[in-house]
Amino acid sequence: MLRRLLNILPVFTLLAAASAQAALPEAVSHALQKEGLPLNSVAMYVQRLDQAPSQPQVVSHQADQPLNPASVMKLVTTYAGLELLGPAYRWRTEIYHDGSLSNGVLNGNLYIKGYGAPDLMLENFWLMLSRLRQAGVREIRDDLVLDSSYFSSQAGDSSAFDGEPYRAYNVLPGALLVNLKASSFRFQADEQEVTVSQEPALPEIKIINRLKLAQSDCGDWKKQLEYEVSRPDASGFEISGSGKAAGNSQATVSFHGTYAASCGEKFLELSVLDNASYTLGLFRQIWQQLGGSLHGELKLAEKPASATLLLEQQSWPLSDVVRRINKYSNNLMARQLLLTIATEKVGVPGTEAGGAQALRAWLADKGMDFPELVIENGAGLSRAERISARHLGELLAHAYASPVMPELMSSLPILSVDGTAEHRLKNSTAQGRAHLKTGSLEGVRSIAGYVLDRNGRRWAVVFMVNHPRAGASRAAQDALLQWIYEQ
């Protein structure tokens, strides 16, 4: 009997040790209790990366529970993109014509074909059109044709997520998307008035400023002003039987409410035009500035196989795009990346379902089975996406041993230094010691990434909260980061 007890004792000792290791740190438990956040709404996973995967997790709480991760889902998409496409991958945008070019006059149509470049910003679009002028094109006699066939048409409702159809973060992806289809409205207050301007300054967008100057603290300034968007041609471009886009959509943006003088200069990013109107407006504006002219109309169609290539514009490398996705949690760029993975690994046109299929196949090739994983758009801007803390933590550990680890880690916000983690733990000894992706939705708060403790050991950490008061979990998250650093 004594021998049997002696044989069983080590088993109980190991189980007790594992239980102790997996327990929540007292500071974290206290912070959650103080804010009234129930433990069943929280999932955590903490693992030292110098330990074998078979070792018990240092912290494991509801680690197998599928939760909405918000923007930390971008870690899955960007890691997959870096491995499947490579850090040096570049998108392209092409310009063709189907006529004759002589003495600067193009007798024929000009085609712009997009392949999903997420960085076709205002300056890059200007550069591309400047190169077109340098290629000898000055006057376009026929139509401007936009070809977005590389991705499947995104027919979703941009307001479905949160009822904010004009916020720039809700812009739907597309194969030819210029400047992320965003207009930046600039608010500037002096002692007498508030002025509102836009960049780019498109004539298709009219501003009505009814803002009143307030002598108060700036605070949450966006809640003090309201805006209304009026679009007489709300459907945007209507395509006729010939493929021509009839009518140029316009928008009026009215601002009212108050704006505090103490706010100084602020910006609000909105998207108030349909994609075709926005692209045409930018093209006309830049083309005229470059001394060019366009006589035809806008058409939305695929370029003919016989069209002649005039030039190709290449994007930033994927390693740079991933930094912009993760440092500043760019939803649209993440969605563009998922669709690009779909086209490269599943086929054209790219779909979100194809992107999810490619990511599952990639995980399977690594021997990873995440049955709870739900990928809707790869950006975390979703009420449907799900992953468990354990599997996200295991993916982080796997990424740490990957050849693309330097690119992935350098894309993450540095605690108290930059990106979405710039203002966290500013006065802590842990500042600058963590690379973290943050996630925030109504009812969701999450962090995931890597922490370097005071002894130089690296840890993978995941903390997710799904609860109506999830916003109150920041103190608990910070307590966990501080606890890890002090180990």
- For 67, counting Cβ atoms within 10 Å of its Cβ (0-12 exposed, 13-18 middle, 19+ buried), the class is buried
pLDDT of 241 strictly over 70: no
C-beta of residue 466 within 8 angstroms of C-beta of residue 380: no
pLDDT at 231: 86
Residue 289: pLDDT band (50, 70, 90) is very high
317 pairs with which residues across the strands? 90
Tell me the torsion sign for CA atoms 164, 169, 172, 178.
positive
Among the four given CATH numbers 3.40.710.10, 3.90.550.10, 3.30.160.270, 3.40.50.2020, the one describing domain 22-87+318-485? 3.40.710.10
Distance of CA 43 to the CA centre of its chain: 23
- 415-443 confidence digits (pLDDT tens): 999 999 999 999 999 999 999 999 999 99
DSSP string, 230-297: E-TTTT--EE-TTSBEES---EEEEEEEEEEGGG-EEEEEE--S-HHHHHHHHHHHHHHHTT-EE-S-
Q: Where do the domains of the chain lie?
A: 22-87+318-485, 92-316
pLDDT at 280: 95
pLDDT of 238 strictly over 50: no
pLDDT at 11: 39
- 30-83 confidence digits (pLDDT tens): 999 999 999 999 999 999 999 877 777 799 999 999 999 999 999 999 999 999
pLDDT of 20 strictly over 90: no
Reduced to 3 DSSP states, what percent helix, strand and coil does the chain have, rounded to the nearest 5? 35, 30, 40
d(CA 45, CA 59): 5
With a pLDDT cut of 90, the percent of the chain lying above it is 86
DSSP state of 346: T
pLDDT at 158: 66
pLDDT of 290 strictly over 70: yes
Q: What's the chain's average pLDDT? A: 91
- 86-145 confidence digits (pLDDT tens): 999 999 999 999 999 999 999 999 999 999 999 999 999 999 999 999 999 999 999 999
With a pLDDT cut of 70, the percent of the chain lying above it is 91
- Give the global pTM: 0.91
Residue 247: pLDDT band (50, 70, 90) is very low
Question: 454 in helix, strand or coil?
Answer: coil
d(CA 373, CA 355): 13
pLDDT at 147: 97
pLDDT at 249: 78
pLDDT of 242 strictly over 70: no
Distance of CA 73 to the CA centre of its chain: 10
pLDDT of 387 strictly over 90: yes
The more confidently predicted of residues 94 and 249 is: 94
The tokens for 376 are: 């809707």
Among residues 457, 483, 447, the alpha carbon closest in space to that of 49 is found at: 457
Among residues 212, 207, 237, the alpha carbon closest in space to that of 225 is found at: 212
Residue 19: pLDDT band (50, 70, 90) is very low
pLDDT at 8: 43
CB atoms within 10 A of CB 18: 14
pLDDT at 239: 40
